[in-house]
Structure 1
Amino acid sequence: MPEKPRFAPTPAAATPPRRVLMLSWEYPPVVVGGLGRHVHALATSLAAAGHEVTVVTRHAPGAPREEYADGVRIVRAPEDPPTFPLVTSGLLSWTMAFNHSLTRAALHAAATGEYDVIHAHDWLVTHTAVTLKEHLGIPLVATIHATEAGRHQGWLPEEMNRTIHSVEVWLAREACRVLVCSEYMRWEVTRLLELPASRVDVVPNGVDSSVWRTTARAVAAARTRFAGEGPLLGFAGRLVYEKGVQHLVSALPELRARHPGMRLVIAGDGPHKAELVDATKQLRLQRAVSFTGFLGADLPAVLAATDAMVVPSIYEPFGMVALEAAAAGAPLAVARTGGLAEIVEPGVTGVTFPASDPFGLAEAVSSLLADQTFAKRVARQAKAMVATRYGWPTIARHVVSAYDAAVAQAPSFVTDALPTPVVVPEGNLLAA
């Protein structure tokens, strides 16, 4: 086992340091989406505040099985010899195989350390989380980053979707505290997962503003690369239906009619890409739209180079990219849905428009492009808002409060009753 590093806890902590066993299916260098970056930032922020954090996650080629990095103990579970491809059609089989390996790695971690709380991130680690809760006799806290029904606008169309939903319900039942990233998500999980609101805590996602700073030279290079003679719009994220990029593309003819020479850069990749590329061809906008794939280290400069960053999501539990774009200094135009509606105050930190409404999108974006003084003002106010409200030290303190509540209520939460089956209702689960 690697030698544990020495670091000084933050003085005058409000609560005694917590010993946290954190479970996640992704953690750097394995980063599939935003969850891996979230867990890494949370774990390292907790460690910097003096808490003891062990993250158990899946192994990546070339990574050590166990190490300390940034004050966090990381235990990685390698795949078992039988092959279970990580593909959509076989996701449930892969998840079950992964949880066998993850459980063994977590039990190894538990054998060489003591913990106050287990923190599980999303449904993919549920079987391991419940096993550890019962084996170690310590409380479970679960973060629900998104729900299966929410991703499908309230529907569970296939057997796999219904099965994932049942696992989410099970995880929520087993957890003393359930963490969500917005008030919208509190409403969604209490409705979908049959939870009392008193067991659900809203803890926003955090942003490290320093990561999104860039230089004037990098911004100028990004504009040279992507902008033409007119304004530059941006989108960043996975190219999936629920991100609503199709509505942004549909709004482009109207926007270009109002703002000649306008161009759009789409940073990201996903299964919806081919359909989006085809849509730009049908609209004869190939030269006006750049599909870059994931930009990595170049993304902050591209965000800062835009005259408006557009977040047209149909479903968005939180809206992390909006905060990242704001931290980079970009004016925001976001769909008035989910957590986005809680981040952006219209006319103060950006502009909003109805989801799935290309004309409304064009109106909102035009209000930024037509008034640069207004756009700069809302961008400046959004950047300040991110720094004060969404810094990771603040978020970590909120999470520790949830840990404290879980530890306090754990004795009254324990039950010897057999688990009850999850009955998956039919129809639209989010319908009134």
Structure 2
Amino acid sequence: MRALFLSWEYPPVMVGGLGRHVYSLSKALVQAGHEVTVVTRHAPGAAYEEYVDGVRVIRAAEDPPLFTFSGPTLLAWTMALNHTLTRAALRAADTAGFDVIHAHDWLVAHSAMTLREHLGIPLVTTIHATEAGRHQGWLPADTNRSIHSTEWWLANESDRVVVCSHYMRWEVNQLFGVPHQRIDVVANGVDPELWRSDPVRTDNARRAYAGDGPLIGFAGRLVYEKGVQDLITALPAVRAQHPGLRLIVAGDGPHRQRLVGLTESLGLEQAVSFTGFLGGDLPSVMAATDAMVVPSIYEPFGMIALETAATGTPIAAASTGGLKEIVEPGRTGMNFPAANPEALATIVSKLLADDGNARRMARTAQHVVIDRFSWSLIARRTGRVYATAVAGASSFLTSRATELVAHGYPELRIPEGNLLRLAAA
């Protein structure tokens, strides 16, 4: 199968987990015998075109005027990005035929739709998260509602929609009305070798960050839905049970200064280290901790849970979204209710108090990662989705065209209030 990937993230552009996913999946698909071309945005110093692990990577330069990737100009930035991605993909199509387009999230929706119509090939879309989910069901501003409508459009026009968990299958069905039979659950994967810690670096990290007590960690983007505020709020109670405990917060994001302010207001400046992005040092730093905590309020999947398991580190995670499908209480980790600092403190304290049991669960989680979440397995499942999309493309397009002729494009109505709560009702 010859696949054209569209993604706004790809190394060296790494904002969240999407870039890592696209990199690993495209490489695994090539190893499985597929041909993959990734069209993405250019980054200073990166090659405009190259082969990376057998994947053809085309990086398109931004069009002027140059917008910033921020709230006021986000939609304008996205439209400009889609123009340059479309032109780059069409040039690629002139030299290599494609069987399927694989779009990753709403930021490439307009390019994906243009290419689908121009090339006449099926469109597969991975919905990594939703705007309603990221905002706990609320769409408070015009930008949020615009993103939601783009997600709805892309999901409904795709031949197949891929999601990373059964929770996300429910969410996409409920929010966008995509029939269950057109939604495929294909989990994210992890390469255990990439998360193998270096003993020397691990020892150095332990000396750098740990004090006289235990060391716990968080890794991820510093945004509200990741729940770091709940972890910091719970820290005094955990330290009361485990004197000298310290916390590493690895990552960056728009909520960093608020989190630093919260830390200072609780008098925890000496107990919390904000490290920023750690890059290649992250596996060793994670392995240096006594436990990693995933306090997410909204989590479609929870890549960091898999990565933690791959390092052999005990994990405590919020029982929300896709995390519930990864962390099995008492077997591969421990759970606590999301957005509940008191429960978080109780569970993390229990995990730290029984190191033997914590390490037993961590070893089990390592085996589960290898058995269920290898990229080779994920690539095979993705290949089957492509085959299904290609086999059913003509009937899907015909039925869609008939529907539009008969009824016109259905009007998207965005109800007031919490969309996730309304969807569950």
The bucket for the TM-score relative to the shorter chain is: over 0.9
TM-superposed CA distance for 1:114, in Å, is 1.0
TM-superposed CA distance for 1:324, in Å, is 0.6
Alignment correspondent of 2:130: 147
Three-state SS of the structure 1 residue aligned to 2:342 is helix
Alignment correspondent of 2:419: 429
CA–CA distance in structure 2, aligned partners of residues 274 and 129 of structure 1:
36
Alignment correspondent of 1:168: 151
Alignment correspondent of 1:280: 263
80-89 or 124-133, which moves further after superposition?
A: 80-89
TM-superposed CA distance for 1:259, in Å, is 0.7
Alignment correspondent of 1:112: 95
CA–CA distance in structure 1, aligned partners of residues 233 and 412 of structure 2:
41
TM-superposed CA distance for 1:422, in Å, is 2.3
TM-superposed CA distance for 1:156, in Å, is 0.6
Q: Classify 1:215/1:84 alpha carbon distance in 2 versus 1 (closer, same or farther; 3 Å).
A: closer
CA–CA distance in structure 2, aligned partners of residues 125 and 420 of structure 1:
22
Q: Classify 1:380/1:155 alpha carbon distance in 2 versus 1 (closer, same or farther; 3 Å).
A: same
TM-superposed CA distance for 1:180, in Å, is 0.4
Alignment correspondent of 2:276: 293
With normalisation by structure 2, the TM-score equals: 0.96
With normalisation by structure 1, the TM-score equals: 0.94
TM-superposed CA distance for 1:419, in Å, is 3.5
Alignment correspondent of 1:233: 216
Unaligned runs of 5+ in 2: none
CA–CA distance in structure 1, aligned partners of residues 7 and 331 of structure 2:
36
Residue identity in the other structure for 2:371 = T
CA–CA distance in structure 2, aligned partners of residues 124 and 276 of structure 1:
28
TM-superposed CA distance for 1:425, in Å, is 2.1
- Kindly provide the CA deviation profile for residues 66-94 of structure 1, in whole angstroms up to 9, marking residues without a partner as x: 22221111122111232222222110001
TM-superposed CA distance for 1:50, in Å, is 1.1
| Identity %, equivalent residues | 64
Residue identity in the other structure for 1:125 = V
CA–CA distance in structure 2, aligned partners of residues 269 and 427 of structure 1:
30
Alignment correspondent of 2:243: 260
Tell me whether 1:136 sits opposite 2:119 in the alignment: yes
Equivalent residues in 2 for 1:238-257, closer than 5 Å: 238-257=221-240
Alignment correspondent of 1:343: 326
CA–CA distance in structure 2, aligned partners of residues 401 and 334 of structure 1:
31
TM-superposed CA distance for 1:423, in Å, is 2.3
Residue identity in the other structure for 2:148 = H
TM-superposed CA distance for 1:420, in Å, is 3.3
Report which of the two has the higher share of helix. 2
TM-superposed CA distance for 1:376, in Å, is 0.7
Query: Which of structure 1's runs of 4+ aligned residues deviate more than 4 A?
Result: none
Residue identity in the other structure for 1:147 = T
Alignment correspondent of 2:390: 407
Three-state SS of the structure 1 residue aligned to 2:420 is coil
TM-superposed CA distance for 1:65, in Å, is 2.1
CA–CA distance in structure 2, aligned partners of residues 334 and 81 of structure 1:
43
CA–CA distance in structure 1, aligned partners of residues 304 and 51 of structure 2:
29
Three-state SS of the structure 1 residue aligned to 2:202 is helix
Three-state SS of the structure 2 residue aligned to 1:53 is strand
CA–CA distance in structure 2, aligned partners of residues 215 and 25 of structure 1:
31
Equivalent residues in 2 for 1:72-83, closer than 5 Å: 72-83=55-66
TM-superposed CA distance for 1:421, in Å, is 3.6
CA–CA distance in structure 2, aligned partners of residues 293 and 389 of structure 1:
30
RMSD of aligned alpha carbons: 1.0
TM-superposed CA distance for 1:394, in Å, is 0.5
Alignment correspondent of 2:362: 379
- Kindly provide the CA deviation profile for residues 28-48 of structure 1, in whole angstroms up to 9, marking residues without a partner as x: 122221111110100111011
CA–CA distance in structure 2, aligned partners of residues 21 and 273 of structure 1:
36
Aligned residues: 415
Alignment correspondent of 1:366: 349
Alignment correspondent of 1:13: none
Tell me whether 1:91 sits opposite 2:81 in the alignment: no
Tell me whether 1:201 sits opposite 2:202 in the alignment: no
TM-superposed CA distance for 1:216, in Å, is 2.2
Q: 2:25 aligns with which of 17, 42, 45?
A: 42
Residue identity in the other structure for 1:341 = K
CA–CA distance in structure 2, aligned partners of residues 332 and 171 of structure 1:
35
Residue identity in the other structure for 1:44 = K
CA–CA distance in structure 2, aligned partners of residues 298 and 83 of structure 1:
33
Unaligned runs of 5+ in 1: 1-17
CA–CA distance in structure 2, aligned partners of residues 367 and 63 of structure 1:
46
396-405 or 75-84, which moves further after superposition?
A: 75-84
- Kindly provide the CA deviation profile for residues 90-141 of structure 1, in whole angstroms up to 9, marking residues without a partner as x: 1000111111111111111111111111100000000010111111111000
- Kindly provide the CA deviation profile for residues 115-170 of structure 1, in whole angstroms up to 9, marking residues without a partner as x: 11110000000001011111111100000000000001111110000000000011
CA–CA distance in structure 1, aligned partners of residues 144 and 303 of structure 2:
24
